[in-house]
Amino acid sequence: MTRAGKWLRRLLWAVGGLAAFVLLVALFGVWWLHHAMSASLPQVDGELHLSGLSAPVTVRRDDHGVPHIEAATQDDLWLAQGFVTAQDRLWQMDMLRRASAGELSEIIGPSMIERDKMQRVLQFRNVALRVYNSFPESDRRRYEQYAKGVNLYIAQCNGKWPSEFRFLHYRPKPWQGSDSILIGLNMVESLDTHWEAKLSRELISSKLNNAKLEADLYPTGSWRDQPPTAAVADMTQPHPAPPPDDTDEAQMRSGKRAPGGEDIAELRRALGLPACAGCVPGSNNWVIAGKHTASGKPMLSNDMHLGLTVPNIWYMADLKAQGFHAEGVTLPGMPFVIAGHNEHVAWGFTALYADVQDLYVEKLDGKGNYLSPQGDWRPLAHVHETIHVRFKPDVKLDVELTDHGPLLDPVFKKEKRPIALHWTLYDPALASIPLYEIDTSSNWQQFSNALDAWCWPTQNVVYADDAGHIGYHAVGKVPMRPAGLVGTPITDTQHEWQGYIPFDDLPLSFDPPSGLLATANARVTPNDTKFPLTLEWPDPYRAERIYLDLRGRDNLKREDMIAVQTDIYSEEDQELAHRVAYAIDHTAGTDARLKQTADLLRSWDGRMTADSAAASIVFRARQAFWPMILQPKLGADGESYEWGESNFAEEEIIMHGSAGPGPSPWLPPNYKDWDSLLTDAVRKALEQSKAPQNLSKWSYGSWHVIDLEHPVYQLLPLIKGWSGTGEQPLSGDTVTIKQVGRAFGPSQRFTMDWSAPDQSTENIVLGESGDPLSPWFRDQWPAWYGGTTFAMPFSDAAVTGQTSHTLRLVP
């Protein structure tokens, strides 16, 4: 053999050996993880001894692993709830408290510094401690018992932690009662954070310098609104445009300098806000009186729309002890049931979107003082934060605070003004989380009394009880602003808060004549409301469609509720499809491909199905449209545009952009008319999306997908496939009742039927367990993805009939 041949042979052996070594290491890693996951699976049968119990607790799990926990005392119940939840979700609980407190960098490393910095500036750890210490002793005891249960599980692991702890090589710290408050603050941040939209609006307003164009981009409510506090409208009749909102126009453009678009994009990432355009954290809920149901008893439905995670946001549970019995979804890390039902009442939530935050541009003297609203100079308060970073030096952070709240300077890149965030969360007088009182209510009066104490997040609550009553109430502490709501940073002293809107003056309705109440984050008040709640209501389409689906119908059944929850018809998309088809028909020089586009759009039924070509075309065309009209006026800053009603703004601009004499002010100068612009939007959409030549084969689901991945194991190719969903075709969009995005959508689906409580349905996205080897890790995915659901037993007989595992926790 020649020298070259010997060299080549050695090289091949070396490469082969290296490949074999890498493969062996990979296989060993998979085996190790598999073993770690298997070893951490919880005990679900037999007996376990837990110190601190006063009597045995029974934990019966049904076929979906949902724990039905029955204790002799409530103290034992909260301890058992903490223990059982930690059995299934301990690593998620630890990540949630770390995410809220700004302690992710300590485990994950430098990539989390900006996220942690945001949370430290927001002061969530200190807020949680303040709220917890303000609780009455009875509440603190419940949280302490829950924490004790979590810590008993941590102690019992004996090193067999959930696999993520072992993979990331760290141990969970003991659980504290205030950690549960941190978990709740995650939800408050997700649902009540809108201040970044005020920075975006200031930037865009300053660039536009045109009140009419600004109003087009930032509508407050719409003719499509169906407030639950008003009579159910006849939506077959034309609707007038709403009157102008009460925004202080001078104040809207009073900022001297607006932050750059880079700042705003970075803020959205640091805040963990949805990445998909048009995704609005919120929900759908409705309640129907017995006169419209087949059984004669009320039904209530709720599906809460949030960013979807692995494991799920929610953990289903049934909790029972002397004086307490409630079931539904819980937050891993918090005691009680968040949304669900007890023996007498059922309830569900959607985000109200009330404005509970303002930004104030503070005046500083350069000597460590700020000018207070009362006109005197006061020293800035300082909180010194240390962010521990894995594999890197600690990051020191000095958070400065005024009377309004923390200065946001550390999280800005280009903004130079000292801007303070004023938030109801920072008011020391607000410290109530009345979940226990809600869970134990037995009628509307008791339920309302509990809601009166609700501080944050602001919510729409629908209600139904076993006596046949239905109701709705907006809840949360919403500031009163005598000088008016402001949609940009404030620079004067006239826009200070003056207390909170009284509970009885918040929107409410009880047993309305229509027998139907529904909300989906859109406007819930008439235009002449006594106390304006916000300038930024989300799009009206889901609420409008719910009323259209249910209004005037009788003999409704449970299966009708899941059909509404999974409705994927979009009137807006169909309307815009017809408008675009008309534009193509009336534009000269269109080719055969564009003519095929018009034919597909005009014959489409408006359903955003995964196999629809028209849905694919209209969705992409809408995406292409925005930069075409914003960039000529705003340049790159147009990318920072965001608004709860941006889809409605787009509809109005497209449908009425050419109305009136002369060209539309939105029409770019290089287009002769609106039809040519819309036609070019389609052309750009097809090019940018690399659509197939034969558009009838361009299915919506070929690129519009859901993809839920484990935050750790998605990085490991051999593990990723069985620790998440992978990319799956996804029907629906951001304006259908089934509001969805790549990792966004209904986080659960619930329907309470008071004629058969044991047949009431609930399901979450994946499953109860956070362990990929558990049979309950992904067993609920087929129901969620396929638009079906299943019953959640409640009575002792029904629970017994569906019990597949029984664990006794004994003293």
pLDDT of 252 reads 36
Vertex 711 angle, CA 705 and 716, to 5°: 90
* Structure token pair of residue 131: 């709220």
Q: Calculate mean pLDDT across residues 371-393.
A: 96
In the DSSP assignment, the letter for residue 772 is T
- Pairwise CA distance, residues 426 & 629, whole Å: 40
Please report, for residues 56, 183, 335, 481, 660, the alpha-carbon distance to residue 141 in angstroms, rounded to integers and kept in the order given. Answer: 20, 18, 11, 37, 66
- Pairwise CA distance, residues 670 & 224, whole Å: 33
Q: Where are the strands (E) in 402-527, listed by range?
A: 419-423, 459-465, 470-475, 508-510, 516-519
HSE toward the beta carbon, residue 691, CA cutoff 13 A: 29
151 and 174 Cβ atoms separated by less than 8 Å: yes
pLDDT in tens, 730-779: 999 999 999 999 999 999 999 999 999 999 999 999 999 999 999 999 99
Is the confidence at residue 7, as pLDDT, over 70? no
> Helix (H, G, I), strand (E, B), or coil: what is residue 398?
strand
In the DSSP assignment, the letter for residue 795 is S
Long-range contacts of 405-409 (CB under 8 A, 24+ apart): 406/121, 406/122, 406/123, 407/121, 407/362, 407/380, 408/121, 408/359
pLDDT of 278 reads 64
pLDDT in tens, 159-177: 888 999 998 999 999 999 9
**231: burial class by Cβ within 10 Å (0-12, 13-18, 19+)?**
exposed
pLDDT in tens, 454-475: 999 999 999 999 999 999 999 9
Please report, for residues 15, 585, 613, the alpha-carbon distance to residue 616 in angstroms, rounded to integers and kept in the order given. Answer: 46, 19, 5
Q: Calculate mean pLDDT across residues 374-391.
A: 96
Binned at pLDDT 50, 70 and 90, residue 275 comes out as low
First to last CA, the chain: 77
Is the confidence at residue 15, as pLDDT, over 90? no
Q: Which residues pair with 706 in a beta bridge?
A: 728
pLDDT of 261 reads 56
- Pairwise CA distance, residues 254 & 234, whole Å: 41
> Helix (H, G, I), strand (E, B), or coil: what is residue 46?
strand
Binned at pLDDT 50, 70 and 90, residue 721 comes out as confident
Q: How many residues are present in the chain? A: 811
Task: Using a pLDDT cut of 70, give the percent of the chain over it.
Answer: 89
pLDDT in tens, 356-368: 999 999 999 999 9
Q: DSSP string of 691-728?
A: --SSGGG--GGGT-EE----TTGGG-HHHHTTTS---E
Helix (H) and strand (E) counts in the chain: 24, 25
In the DSSP assignment, the letter for residue 666 is T
Binned at pLDDT 50, 70 and 90, residue 40 comes out as confident
Q: For the beta carbon of residue 527, count every other beta carbon within 10 angstroms.
A: 16
- Pairwise CA distance, residues 784 & 747, whole Å: 9
Q: DSSP string of 221-286?
A: S-TT---TTSPPP-TTS--PPPPP----HHHHT--SSPPPHHHHHHHHHHHT---STT--SEEEEE
pLDDT of 158 reads 83
pLDDT of 272 reads 59
In the DSSP assignment, the letter for residue 338 is S
Binned at pLDDT 50, 70 and 90, residue 10 comes out as low
Is the confidence at residue 8, as pLDDT, over 70? no
Vertex 730 angle, CA 725 and 735, to 5°: 130
Angle formed by the axes of helices 74-101 and 124-134, nearest 10°: 160
Q: Which residues pair with 287 in a beta bridge?
A: 300, 517
pLDDT of 258 reads 52
Q: Calculate mean pLDDT across residues 573-597.
A: 95
Structural class in CATH, domain 47-232+264-271+280-567+737-797: alpha beta
pLDDT in tens, 64-100: 999 999 999 999 999 999 999 999 999 999 999 999 9
pLDDT in tens, 391-445: 999 999 999 999 999 999 999 988 999 999 999 999 999 999 999 999 999 999 9
Q: What is the mean pLDDT of the chain?
A: 91
pLDDT of 654 reads 93
**193: burial class by Cβ within 10 Å (0-12, 13-18, 19+)?**
buried
Is the confidence at residue 16, as pLDDT, over 60? no
548 and 286 Cβ atoms separated by less than 8 Å: no
Please report, for residues 40, 406, 601, 625, the alpha-carbon distance to residue 95 in angstroms, rounded to integers and kept in the order given. Answer: 17, 24, 45, 39
Structural class in CATH, domain 571-706: mainly alpha
> Helix (H, G, I), strand (E, B), or coil: what is residue 749?
strand
User: Taking the model in full, what pTM does it have?
Assistant: 0.92
The string over 62-87, giving b where at least 16 C-beta atoms fall within 10 Å of a residue's C-beta and e elsewhere, is bebbbbbbbbebbbbbbbbbbbbbbb
